[in-house]
Amino acid sequence: MQRRPVCAIEDLPPGSMKLVAAGKFGVGVYNIDGALYAIANYCAHEGAPLCAGYVGGTNEFAPEEPGGLRHVREGRIARCPWHQWEFDITTGVNVADPNKRVRTYEVDVADGQVYLIA
C-alpha cells in the first residue's frame, strides 16, 4: 500500500471518476457531490472492470409511489458493465446482497492534490 497522487482536485469534479493503475486490476476514484471514494476495478461476480460501468442511482420499494418505486442514491451506485450488479460506491457493498462487496480504498485531498492509498 502506498499513498499515490492521483490528480489535481480540479481534474476530478463532482460526478467524475479517475482510473488509477494501482493493485492488480486498478482502482476507480470517484467524486460524488464533493466527497471522494475509491473502489477496486473488479466486480465481485466474474471479475469485470467495475469502474467501466455506468454510475447512477437505484430504485427502492415505495408502495405509496406510482409504480411502487422511488429512485434514490443518485450518483452513488456503480453498475457492473457486464451483469449490471449494483455496488454502492460509498461503501463498496452490493445493493441486492450485502454479503457481496468490492474492495474500497482511502482517498484524501492535500494541497489541491487527490491522493489514493492503495
Judged by the rule CB under 8 A, the positions of this chain that interact with other proteins are: 45-49, 52-54, 58-61, 63, 68-69, 79, 81-86, 94-97, 100
Closest CB to other proteins among 7 and 52? 52
Cβ–Cβ under 8 Å, residues 55 and 42: no
Q: Least CB distance from residue 14 to other proteins, whole Å?
A: 20
Q: Minimum Å distance from CB 47 to other proteins?
A: 6
Q: 23 or 81, CB closer to other proteins?
A: 81
- d(CA 34, CA 14) in angstroms, rounded, equals 5
Residue 97 burial (C-beta neighbours within 10 Å; 0-12, 13-18, 19+): exposed
